[in-house]
Amino acid sequence: MTRVDERFALAGGIAAEVIDAAVRKVKEGARLLDVAAFAEALIAEKGAKPAFPINISINQRAAHYTPDIDDEACFQKGDLVKVDIGVHVDGYIGDVARSKAVGGRHRELIKAAEAALEAAIELIKPGVATNEVGGVVEKTIHGFGFRPVSNLTGHRLTEWNLHGGVVVPNVRTMHGYRLKEGDVFAIEPFATDGAGRVVDEPKAMIFRYLSDRPVRMREARLILGFVKENYSTLPFAERWIAHLVPRFKLGLALRQLVSSKALHAYHVLKEKENGLVSQAEHSILVTSGGCEILTEV
Ligand code: MN
Ligand code: MN
């Protein structure tokens, strides 16, 4: 392993430990906010930082839901929960996700995403193209009688960059990137009993710094300076910055920053036909003969 690989492995190892512990806390009646606070505190305890706010997306929601500061939502019996955790150490990122059914249903749907991830990992080695990986993911999920979510993808991981330019589709596409030794990728199949596409909900609780822009509101300028300094190019949660400004100004300040393109807003993503969605994700390092899973304990 090179020095860079070791750093990715360190972040991945911490992400693996944290997701194990966090998923164990997902139970009927537990609060989403408590699981989020627990996971993010554990990341800090291990000497790392979140690469993005923990995503806890339930049922039709596929991604980008993170609890609000005063979120009272609890897990309920029958919920299909996706927990997605990102950890970084000095900008080297581990990205891992798992699905859990509260009360044990949805077994096949969860298995479909997990089997697709396994099949992708089995296939990956230098020279394999990302669209072939997408083909295997699609075929595996179809084999379970479900659909892959075609507009969510895996992605390359580079230093300080969660989406390093190259995607790994969850369906067979025309063209792909040929994987090479040393590449680090997050592979993340999503399976659904719905249409196989996600759409934006109006709400966004996760944001990312884009650029310095003139904004009128003092509180908006304060937020922009803080997030640039503290989170750089990585996403952050509204609840992480809520202490900076009076609560009644927070939403307005964020909206101003998004409309002036100083910040990017990650809208909550839900399945287009309100199908249930499962997800499985690992970060992997392409090695000479295959790949190594970085986000496994
Ligand atoms: Mn993820
Ligand atoms: Mn990812």
Active site residue: 132, 193, 271, 281, which one?
A: 281
- The ranges of the chain with pLDDT < 50 are none
Distance from the CA of 97 to the center of ligand 1, in angstroms?
Answer: 5
Say what the pLDDT of residue 74 is.
98
For the question of residue 106 being annotated catalytic, the response is: no
Sheet with 277-279, strands from edge to edge, namely 147-148, 190-192, 277-279
For the question of residue 90 being annotated catalytic, the response is: no
- Using the structure block, give the residue that is written with the tokens 């969860």: 110
Distance from the CA of 84 to the center of ligand 2, in angstroms?
Answer: 8
Query: CA angle, corner 5, sides to 206 and 294, nearest 5?
Result: 60
* Domain 3-197+274-293, CATH: 3.90.230.10
Distance from the CA of 32 to the center of ligand 2, in angstroms?
Answer: 20
Residues in the chain: 297
Query: CA angle, corner 276, sides to 24 and 156, nearest 5?
Result: 70
Distance from the CA of 208 to the center of ligand 2, in angstroms?
Answer: 15
Active site residue: 28, 45, 122, 163, which one?
A: 163
For the question of residue 28 being annotated catalytic, the response is: no
**7 exposed, middle or buried (CB, 10 Å; 0-12, 13-18, 19+)?**
buried
- In the structure, ligand 2 is a single-atom ion and the residues with CB under 5 Å from it are 95, 186, 188
CATH 3.90.230.10 in the chain, residue ranges: 3-197+274-293
CATH 1.10.10.10 in the chain, residue ranges: 202-269
Strands (E) located in 228-276: 236-237, 263-271
Distance from the CA of 289 to the center of ligand 1, in angstroms?
Answer: 25
Distance from the CA of 62 to the center of ligand 1, in angstroms?
Answer: 11
Say what the pLDDT of residue 216 is.
92
Domain 202-269 top-level CATH class: mainly alpha
Say what the pLDDT of residue 14 is.
98
For the question of residue 175 being annotated catalytic, the response is: no
Active site residue: 40, 79, 84, 132, which one?
A: 84
For the question of residue 84 being annotated catalytic, the response is: yes
For the question of residue 155 being annotated catalytic, the response is: yes
**Closest among 242, 245, 257 to 70, alpha carbons compared:** 242
Say what the pLDDT of residue 297 is.
86
pLDDT digits (tens, 9 = 90+) for 238-292: 999 999 999 999 999 999 999 999 999 999 999 999 999 999 999 999 999 999 9
